[in-house]
Amino acid sequence: MQQAFWRKWSTSYLSLLQERGKWKTTRQNLQPGTMVLIKEDNAPPLKWPLGRVDSVITGGDGVSRVVVIRTAKALVRRAIARIAVLPIETKPVESRHLPTGGACSQQNA
């Protein structure tokens, strides 16, 4: 009975703990214009080239698999797993007006 319990527990409960959430959630496909870093195996992360997604190549299931990236030097084709998307906000920033005049400008006069 102990062996039956152990077998059931190890196959059912332990496998639930080791589930991979990567394939259970969907991520939004990349859009052209997204800024990315191109992962290079032989370079440290601070030396990875910066680029902008030029076009997206999707698989038969409609999921992005490969992107064409425009870098400073050339167009590069990379798998989605070999790039790092930069978290850049696209909200418009309010422009702030600097004060003119005041105590500093009166002292110089």
The enclosing domain of 38 has a CATH number of 2.30.30
By residue range, what is the domain housing residue 58? 32-88
Instruction: Tell me, yes or no, whether 79 lies in a domain.
Output: yes
Residue 77 has pLDDT above 80, yes or no: yes
Instruction: Tell me, yes or no, whether 45 lies in a domain.
Output: yes
* Residues 6 or more apart in contact with residue 59 via CB below 8 angstroms: 65
SS3 105: helix
Instruction: Tell me, yes or no, whether 48 lies in a domain.
Output: yes
How many domains is the chain partitioned into structurally?
Answer: 1
Phi/psi at 37 (5° precision): -105, 140
Instruction: Tell me, yes or no, whether 59 lies in a domain.
Output: yes
Task: Name the pLDDT band for 5 (thresholds 50, 70, 90).
Answer: confident
Instruction: Tell me, yes or no, whether 49 lies in a domain.
Output: yes
Task: Name the pLDDT band for 98 (thresholds 50, 70, 90).
Answer: low
Can you give the pTM of this predicted structure? 0.58
Task: Name the pLDDT band for 87 (thresholds 50, 70, 90).
Answer: confident
Instruction: Tell me, yes or no, whether 105 lies in a domain.
Output: no
